[in-house]
Amino acid sequence: DGGITQSPKYLFRKEGQNVTLSCEQNLNHDAMYWYRQDPGQGLRLIYYSQIVNDFQKGDIAEGYSVSREKKESFPLTVTSAQKNPTAFYLCASSIDGLAGEGDTQYFGPGTRLTVL
């Protein structure tokens, strides 16, 4: 089955700890994205990557870091600098991040992070 996987589904973190969320896709997509969703809110872009070894900050990148060493993987690290990290984190991918069909993003199932 082709798709996007995220792990873990639920994650609990103590204050002051860094945690890494996994995102893997086997769709052969070039572009990948990380979003954060808070209750009753839309999706806010954290980071995005159009190609391997390159990524761009989104609207709320502070307190987060990413890497894109492989085409199929785009892990997100939530650092202790992120003041309010409790949220639903969504990973997405698209063919190439260009106009038209290439813009169409498909989402993984998400990771729900709770800071204790």
Partner 1 sequence: QKEVEQNSGPLSVPEGAIASLNCTYSDRVSQSFFWYRQYSGKSPELIMSIYSNGDKEDGRFTAQLNKASQYVSLLIRDSQPSDSATYLCAVNEVTGGGNKLTFGTGTQLKVEL
Judged by CB under 8 A, the chain residues 59 through 88 that form the site for partner 1 are 59
- Distance separating alpha carbons of residues 26 and 57, to the nearest angstrom: 24
Q: Does 26 bind partner 1 (CB under 8 A)?
A: no
Among 17, 41, 53, 114, binds partner 1 (CB under 8 A): 41
Q: For residue 110, what are the CA distances in angstroms to 19, 59, 64, 101?
A: 15, 19, 17, 23
Among 12, 28, 98, 114, binds partner 1 (CB under 8 A): 98
Q: Does 50 bind partner 1 (CB under 8 A)?
A: yes
Q: Does 11 bind partner 1 (CB under 8 A)?
A: no
Range in contact with partner 1 (rule: CB under 8 A) among 10-18, 69-77, 79-87, 89-97: 89-97
- Distance separating alpha carbons of residues 62 and 78, to the nearest angstrom: 10
Min CB(98)–partner 1 separation in Å: 6
Beta strands in 1-116 (DSSP E): 4-7, 10-13, 19-25, 31-37, 43-51, 54-57, 64-66, 76-78, 87-94, 106-107, 111-115
> Which residues are at the interface with partner 1 (CB under 8 A)?
31, 33, 35, 40-45, 48-50, 54-56, 58-59, 90, 96-110
